[in-house]
C-alpha cells in the first residue's frame, strides 16, 4: 500500500516549457487535490477533483490545468511555465470531501522554473 | 470565502515547556478544524482535528480548543520535545462534499534541548 505517490520529485524547467506532474493513489479515494506550498504562504489549493472525470478550481488555478481520467490518477499540467510557478507541489487525496476527512499527502514535487 | 489567519509565524521554546499556536477564521459556517504537522522535507500529516460541536479535544500531549463565538481555535502542545520541531498548519472548512480546507500560513516551532 503506497498511499499517494507523486512523480517526478524534482524538475527544472525553462520559462515557457510545459510539463505534467502525476499523482497516483491506491486507497480508492474519491477526492484528490493539488496544492502548492511557498515559503510563508502555507498550502494553497490549485485544483481538485470529487471523482473520476471531474475537476474544479481551487484558490490559485491560473496557469494550471488538471485531468482525472482514472480514479486513481490526478494530473497537474503547466502549459507554459513561469518563474512564479516555482514551488513545491503536493498532491493529496481523501475518502470524502476534505471538509471533514483526513487528507493523505504525497511526498511533494519540487519545481524550479528558470 | 474563508480566510484563516495563524499566529505566530515562528515559535521557539525550551524542551519541556508548552507551546500554543492560534488561528482565527472568517466564515462562521466553518465547522471542521484540523491541524497538520510538517517535519522538515516531509509531507504534512494530520495530528488532531476538532468539529464545531466540541469545545476541546485532547490526544496525549496535544490539545485543540475551539471558540466558535470568537471564531478562533488553538493548538496546545505540553511537555515539548525536540521531535515536536516542525511547521504546524491550521485549517478550516465547511463539512460536506463541497467543503475544501483553507490552510493558515503555518507556524515554525523550534524546540531547543
Residue-wise pLDDT tens digits, B22-33? 999 999 988 899
Minimal Cβ distance to A107: which of B43, B100, B102: B43
Residues whose CB is less than 8 angstroms from the CB of residue A69 and which lie 6 or more positions away in sequence, other chains included: A52, A53, A75
pLDDT tens-place string over residues B58-108: 999 999 999 999 999 999 999 999 999 999 999 998 766 556 889 999 999
Test mutation, A43, A56, A61, A92, chain B, max B CBs within 10 A: A43
Distance in angstroms (rounded) separating the CA atoms of residues A75 and B103: 22
Amino acid at each position: 500500500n503506497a498511499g499517494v505517490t507523486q512523480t517526478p520529485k524534482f524538475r527544472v524547467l525553462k520559462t515557457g516549457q510545459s510539463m505534467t506532474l502525476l499523482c497516483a493513489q491506491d486507497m480508492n479515494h474519491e477526492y484528490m487535490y493539488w496544492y502548492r506550498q511557498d515559503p510563508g504562504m502555507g498550502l494553497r489549493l490549485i485544483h481538485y477533483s470529487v471523482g473520476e472525470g471531474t475537476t474544479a478550481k481551487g484558490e490559485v488555478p491560473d496557469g494550471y490545468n488538471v485531468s482525472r481520467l482514472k480514479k486513481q490518477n490526478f494530473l497537474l499540467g503547466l502549459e507554459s511555465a513561469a518563474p512564479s510557478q516555482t514551488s513545491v507541489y503536493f498532491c493529496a487525496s481523501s475518502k470524502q470531501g476534505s471538509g471533514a476527512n483526513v487528507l493523505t499527502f504525497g511526498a511533494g514535487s519540487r519545481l524550479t522554473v528558470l | 470565502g474563508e480566510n484563516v489567519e495563524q499566529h505566530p509565524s515562528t515559535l521557539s521554546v525550551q524542551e519541556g515547556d508548552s507551546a500554543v499556536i492560534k488561528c482565527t477564521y472568517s466564515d462562521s459556517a466553518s465547522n471542521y478544524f484540523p491541524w497538520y504537522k510538517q517535519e522538515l522535507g516531509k509531507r504534512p500529516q494530520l495530528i488532531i482535528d476538532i468539529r464545531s460541536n466540541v469545545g476541546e479535544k485532547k490526544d496525549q500531549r496535544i490539545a485543540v480548543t475551539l471558540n466558535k463565538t470568537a471564531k478562533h481555535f488553538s493548538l496546545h502542545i505540553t511537555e515539548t520535545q525536540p521531535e515536536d520541531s516542525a511547521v504546524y498548519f491550521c485549517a478550516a472548512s465547511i463539512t460536506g462534499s463541497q467543503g475544501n480546507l483553507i490552510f493558515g500560513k503555518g507556524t515554525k516551532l523550534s524546540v531547543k534541548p
